[in-house]
Structure 1
């Protein structure tokens, strides 16, 4: 009796853990997409990016930022919901304390990296400032607050713009190119970072080196929370904190 009770207690003391989280779609979880559905999803990413870059919205800067950001994030997420039900919930999960701490740490690390890499690139080839910094510096107090709030949908859109192509390339690498999971993931990170850098070319006066080296490096760093946690909320949080810190500094310094 004593031995059985001891074993029973030991059994109850050992916590059971579920399977580690993984990236969705590439292995058919929660659904397996056909080539046509992948094409539709990637087309929605392109349309969303075009809306972010080209749609003109009259009114204050924060309103334009909020509306474009909503389209930027909303179009591909709605498409993802239609072609791959259940995947949006896999991408965006509740932010747990460890993931939150990781997001804060990555945001701080990226601010430092952006300053250092930006300074180096500025010496080598020169850099262009983000026009939003000047806009914020010239705004009144309420408009500043609204602009910072309007950044949230915009930055969520940037995370979606990064991760959906990443998942597509990961799937392509493993299913078509027959690469290993690690090689496919490295390829996916590089491609998504370059796409993200290209998205920022109009913002930075088509300065290719600045976008590839500064923005591309920042993109890889800000992607770390998602790669670790498989939770896009963590990467989005890091991205928001990063941009708030950088543009907040610009606003304070004028």
Structure 2
């Protein structure tokens, strides 16, 4: 093999890694099946501490501790499994990425609103309890809540995207095509994400699958299109901040009237 051919081969992998989703195809670095299990287990642990682990301090302090641990646990597992390439899920945020955040966030919000009213008449709907709490909270508590959602929503992205890449890796190793693997992992993790919201929405399975699961499809699509977890996180933040702002504005309007 000539030196020129070797050089082309060595540079082809970084180019493919930059243009494709990371890790499922051993680019930019390989993650073994055992390490994927550890990463997925870390995602499960991160979610478990969020909903089950009692922590000392006030409700506000607990929210912050849970919110910080939520992304730190899966990120630590990913850094352990891929020490030379764990940052591949993050890319530099450019102007077009900010536009993508806004576009996917509004797309997600529009889809949720379009489905919410007709589905509520058919299957019923439970409100997010945080919305009621926020409406009655002080301004300082409201600001703290919104700021704490920044790390928490990053955590929600991690516990969705990392299992998606893990499932893609497994299916590709089983001989599935990239397209079939991605479609299965995309839909499967959206269903899982919806089911994780069951305690929040009074165990309404249909609401979690039809509303939360569909919204998750758009948020994951933001990552698939841009290969940048900052974009899907930004879209998620925009979507949730708008939804949580509505009851606050309505409460303020009612007081004014």
TM over 0.5: yes
SS across alignment from 1:55:
coil
What is the aligned counterpart of 1:77 among 75, 87, 90? 75
SS across alignment from 2:124:
coil
Mapped pair 1:218 → 2:222 = no
Aligned 1:72-221 pairs, distance under 5 A: 72-176=70-174, 178-221=175-218
TM-score (norm: length of structure 2): 0.88
SS across alignment from 1:185:
helix
Partners of 2:95 and 2:54 lie apart in 1 by: 39
Question: What per-residue deviation string (whole Å, max 9, x for no partner) do you get for residues 23-52 of structure 1?
Answer: 111111122122211111111111111011
Partners of 1:98 and 1:189 lie apart in 2 by: 24
Stretches of structure 2 lacking an aligned partner (at least 5 in a row): 1-14, 252-257
SS across alignment from 2:93:
coil
How far off its partner does 1:105 sit?
1.1
Does the 8 Å CA contact 2:33/2:170 hold for their aligned counterparts?
no
Stretches of structure 1 lacking an aligned partner (at least 5 in a row): 1-17
Off by >6 Å, runs of 4+ in structure 1: none
Partners of 1:228 and 1:63 lie apart in 2 by: 36
- Greater radius of gyration (CA): 1
Does the 8 Å CA contact 2:154/2:233 hold for their aligned counterparts?
yes
How far off its partner does 1:119 sit?
1.1
Does the 8 Å CA contact 1:21/1:229 hold for their aligned counterparts?
no
What do you get for the CA RMSD once the two structures are aligned? 1.4
Partners of 2:235 and 2:86 lie apart in 1 by: 19
SS across alignment from 1:93:
coil
Question: What per-residue deviation string (whole Å, max 9, x for no partner) do you get for residues 197-246 of structure 1?
Answer: 11101100110000000000000011122111100000000000111111
Does the 8 Å CA contact 1:31/1:84 hold for their aligned counterparts?
yes
SS across alignment from 2:19:
coil
Question: What per-residue deviation string (whole Å, max 9, x for no partner) do you get for residues 118-175 of structure 1?
Answer: 1122110100001111111111111111110000111000000100110011111111
Equivalent position of 2:33 in the other structure: 35
- Provide the aligned length of Structure 1 versus Structure 2: 236
TM-score (norm: length of structure 1): 0.89
